[in-house]
Amino acid sequence: MQSSAIQTEQQESQPKGMNKLTIRDVDLAHKHAFMRVDFNVPLSEDGREIMDDTRIKETLPTLEYALRHKAKLILASHLGRPKGKPNSKYSLRPLVDRLRMLLDHHLGEQVNVAFSPDCVGELATEMARQLESGQVLLLENLRFHAE
């Protein structure tokens, strides 16, 4: 089957009016945008150094689009398998500086990247509430909670 035939078949199987939206279809200006990203990157044994930042770099076009359109960006990811409880070896904290550096370089301007030491609760909620347009909040590892 050729790719055009596959696309036609997929379009026909999708209910009318159920076209997928992309980030370009949403007005992001001055709104909170929650993004589930894949920052499950390899870290050094002590968990302090990123060994390969490819997965972070792969998100940059989407993050850039959101930031250039003045979104208040909240990022959530998992890292490793911490078994439902906090483990500093699997913290996303070491990613903040790398993410900031990559965004600064990619956008050609300084980007404020904050870190929430939890992904739920009052502190994470308040930090998200205080975001300004064009700022980023990275939440702590989603897998630090079993639920």
Residues 50-107 pLDDT 10s: 999 999 999 999 999 999 999 999 999 999 888 888 988 899 999 999 999 999 999 9
Average pLDDT, the chain: 89
Instruction: Assess if residue 125 is contained within a domain.
Output: yes
Question: What is the pLDDT, as a whole number, of residue 19?
Answer: 82
Total domains, the chain:
1
Domain membership of residue 9 (yes or no) is no
Range in 9-23, 29-43, 88-102, 113-127 with the lowest mean pLDDT: 9-23
Percentage, residues of the chain above pLDDT 70: 87
Q: Exposed, middle or buried by CB within 10 Å (0-12, 13-18, 19+), for 136?
A: buried
Instruction: Look at 133 and 146; give whichever has higher pLDDT.
Output: 133
Burial 18-30 (b: 16+ CB within 10 A, else e): eeeeeeeeeebee
Domain assignment of residue 16, yes or no = no
Asked if residue 43 is part of any domain, the answer here is yes
The answer as to whether 17 is a domain residue is: no
Q: CATH code at 129?
A: 3.40.50.1260
State phi, psi for 61 to the nearest 5 degrees: -60, -40
Rounded distance between C-alpha atoms, residue 96 and residue 139, angstroms: 10
- The answer to whether residue 15 is domain-embedded is no
- Given a contact cutoff of 8 angstroms between Cβ atoms, the answer to whether 144 and 83 are in contact is no
Name the pTM for this structure.
0.85
Q: Which of 71, 55, 58 is nearest to 23 (CA)?
A: 71
Q: What is the pLDDT of residue 1?
A: 39
User: pLDDT at position 72, please?
Assistant: 98
Domain membership of residue 77 (yes or no) is yes
Query: Comparing C-alpha atoms, which of 68, 69, 37, 64 is closest to residue 53?
Result: 37
Q: Which domain holds residue 133?
A: 23-144
The residues facing 116 across adjacent strands are: 139
Q: Is 55 inside a domain boundary?
A: yes
pLDDT at 25 over 60: yes
The one-character DSSP state at 123 is H
Percent of the chain with pLDDT over 90: 72
Q: How far apart are the first and last CA of the chain?
A: 42
